[in-house]
């Protein structure tokens, strides 16, 4: 049973998978004043939300809120691979739209902060007294990509003739905004994802997780999507360094191909 608690008071209970409780606490001190309000902000910080162990990245944050004239809603997020690291992570935002891409956040743990803003606007209450107008924040939804839903494709195991130290991978393809493509390499001819080191395209990466003796390289491509639009990788190319020599797309002494492609 999941519970939502605001300032120590239980306000709502419902069965929500993988979430036991969410609580909000006011930051700062409550302000009471007989003077006209110029600006007022309510800040609510959630408890950490944990994704699956196979999370690749967070996907989207969306929320439902009712805003009145002179009010606004801002959402901030932060994530970390560990619960302790979440405390020192920096907030990202503000997110102003009610639906936003958050695929840059890749940690298993995520926390969100909601800021309700009032810019000096008042409404009449049931006693016909002017009170500060407050936007109503109703719900928030978070989604993420997970490796359990990935389709994996493997290249042949190329024999380089030397032990690679660094790699630079480039590719071109058609990848929908609602999809994720990841690349990884191994020094063995294997299809076990645990034997691969993930690398970022268009960036020189040190092959620190590969065997210090293997002269082979094998590529794994992970494709993760949730739409009917296909993901297409037209071609990819490698550049390696190792043993004081730089080899561009020279997969073996008998290979004359200028690029490797799928």
The pLDDT value recorded for residue 91 is 93
Pairing mode, strands 99-101 and 71-80: unpaired
Among 256, 239, 235, 257, which residue's Cα sits nearest to residue 248? 239
Q: Which band of pLDDT confidence, cut at 50, 70 and 90, is reported for residue 246?
A: very low
End-to-end CA distance of the chain: 48
Q: How far apart are CA 207 and CA 243, in angstroms?
A: 13
The pLDDT value recorded for residue 16 is 63
For the chain, domains (ranges, CATH) are 2-146 (no CATH), 150-248 (2.60.120)
* 30 vs 135, residue with greater confidence: 135
* 119 vs 116, residue with greater confidence: 116
């Amino acid at each position: 049973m999941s519970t939502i608690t605001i300032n120590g008071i239980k306000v709502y209970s419902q069965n929500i998978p993988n979430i036991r409780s969410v609580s909000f606490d006011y930051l700062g001190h409550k302000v009471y004043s007989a003077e006209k309000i110029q600006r007022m902000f309510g800040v609510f910080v959630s408890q950490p939300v944990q994704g699956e162990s196979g999370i690749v990245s967070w996907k989207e944050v969306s929320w439902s809120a009712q805003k009145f004239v002179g009010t606004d809603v801002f959402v901030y997020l932060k994530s970390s691979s560990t619960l302790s690291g979440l405390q020192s992570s920096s907030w990202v935002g503000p997110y102003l739209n009610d639906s936003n891409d958050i695929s840059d956040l890749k940690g298993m743990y995520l926390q969100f902060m909601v800021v309700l803003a009032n810019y000096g606007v008042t409404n009449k209450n049931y006693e016909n007294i002017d009170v500060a107008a407050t936007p109503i924040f109703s719900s928030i939804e978070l989604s993420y990509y997970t490796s359990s839903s990935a389709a994996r494709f493997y290249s042949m195991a190329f024999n380089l003739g030397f032990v690679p130290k660094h790699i630079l991978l480039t590719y071109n393809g058609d990848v929908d905004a609602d999809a994720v493509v990841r690349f990884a390499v191994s020094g063995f001819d294997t299809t076990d994802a645990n034997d691969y080191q993930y690398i970022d395209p268009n960036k020189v990466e040190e092959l620190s997780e590969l065997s210090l003796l293997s002269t082979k390289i094998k590529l794994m491509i992970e494709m993760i999507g949730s739409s009917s639009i296909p993901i297409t990788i037209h071609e990819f190319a490698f550049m390696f360094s190792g043993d004081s020599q730089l080899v561009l797309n020279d997969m073996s002494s008998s290979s004359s191909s200028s690029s490797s492609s799928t």
